[in-house]
Amino acid sequence: MPILRVTDLCKSFGPVTVLDRVTFEVERGQKIAILGPSGSGKTTMLRCINFLDRPTGGSIEIDGRRFGAKLAGGRERYESDRALAKERADIGFVFQRFNLFSHLSALNNVALAPRLVRKLPRAEAETLARQMLTRVGLAAKADSMPDALSGGQQQRVAIARVLAMQPKLILFDEPTSALDPELVGEVLNVMRSLAADGMTMLIVTHEVRFAADVADRILFMDHGRIAADGKPRDVLFDNPTDRMRQFLRTLSNDGPARPETTP
């Protein structure tokens, strides 16, 4: 059974259709890289998967269970935010701009949701938070405030915060695109290690080399639809569509680096 099933997902803002019947499945442990031009609906798709944005149609299933909606009086309704908070904890979200709480230390950023949502006692939540900070290489920064950390360190705290909730899958929305180039590698390395641990990950990224290395599959989004879905080598290098070629050219004048591994 797929861990995530997205069926006919639609989202409009007023008259503007941003997602148009997006359908795909993700197996447990799969890494999916989502590529596509700016404005193609990548962020909206991730936000609709965990109901940070409400879809205007379609369904999300996590582990075979309908997420975010239930039957009431014979009609299907999307659930309230309050009802969603607990279910949503199964789905981690890593934002482009970290979104740490600026008035909380790294440790407290990571410990907060386990305390509030999972109802762990303070001491247990802090122990868990230290473990997760260690996991992302930041044990020494537990007491630092976010503004004393580099962008790469803040993003690693954000990843530790997600891990502390023991999510079934993690959605990453361009996790390195707000970082100075020299800080990108440390975040990608943490993501590689999560991938190696078998975490299920959906990653919106413009890091084509990373996507080609780490992803089991590439989804290419264009105008709110999935325009290509397949193995990285096939979608990026062996059989790219004209749109894909055009998109890859916008990322780099040299074109994407072909992965060095052979199939």
| Residues binding ligand ADP (CB under 6 A) | 13, 16, 18, 36, 38-44
Nearer to Mg ion, 105 or 205 (CB): 205
CB of residue 208 vs Mg ion: minimum separation in angstroms?
16
- Token pair, residue 99, equals 């979104």
Listed in sequence order, the residues at least 6 apart from 263 whose beta carbon sits closer than 8 Å to its beta carbon are: 233
Helix pair 181-196, 151-163: axis angle to 10 deg: 20
Residue 48: name the closest of 83, 15, 21, 86 by CA.
Answer: 21
Among Mg ion, ligand ADP, none, residue 175 binds (CB under 5-8 Å by kind): none
Of 34-42, 81-89, 241-249, 253-261: span binding Mg ion (CB under 5 A): 34-42
CB of residue 18 vs ligand ADP: minimum separation in angstroms?
4
Q: Binding mask 42-71 vs Mg ion (x if CB under 5 A, - otherwise)?
A: xx----------------------------
- Rounded Cα distance between 244 and 228, Å, is 8
Per this entry, what is the length of the chain? 263
Of 8-16, 41-49, 160-168, 207-215: span binding Mg ion (CB under 5 A): 41-49
Nearer to ligand ADP, 39 or 255 (CB): 39
- Token pair, residue 240, equals 């790219």
CB of residue 43 vs Mg ion: minimum separation in angstroms?
3
Nearer to ligand ADP, 106 or 236 (CB): 236
DSSP helix/strand/coil, 179 = coil
Query: Quick check: 40 binds Mg ion (CB under 5 A)?
Result: no
Nearer to Mg ion, 142 or 204 (CB): 204
Distance of CA 64 to the CA centre of its chain: 20
- Rounded Cα distance between 37 and 251, Å, is 9
Among ligand ADP, Mg ion, none, residue 44 binds (CB under 5-8 Å by kind): ligand ADP
Among Mg ion, ligand ADP, none, residue 155 binds (CB under 5-8 Å by kind): none
Report whether 236 contacts 244 (CB < 8 A).
Answer: yes
- Token pair, residue 232, equals 């990285």
Report whether 5 contacts 61 (CB < 8 A).
Answer: yes
Handedness of CA 257, 259, 262, 263 (dihedral sign): negative
Nearer to ligand ADP, 24 or 105 (CB): 24
CB of residue 233 vs Mg ion: minimum separation in angstroms?
25
CB of residue 19 vs ligand ADP: minimum separation in angstroms?
8
Report whether 248 contacts 255 (CB < 8 A).
Answer: yes
Binding site for Mg ion (CB under 5 A): 42-43
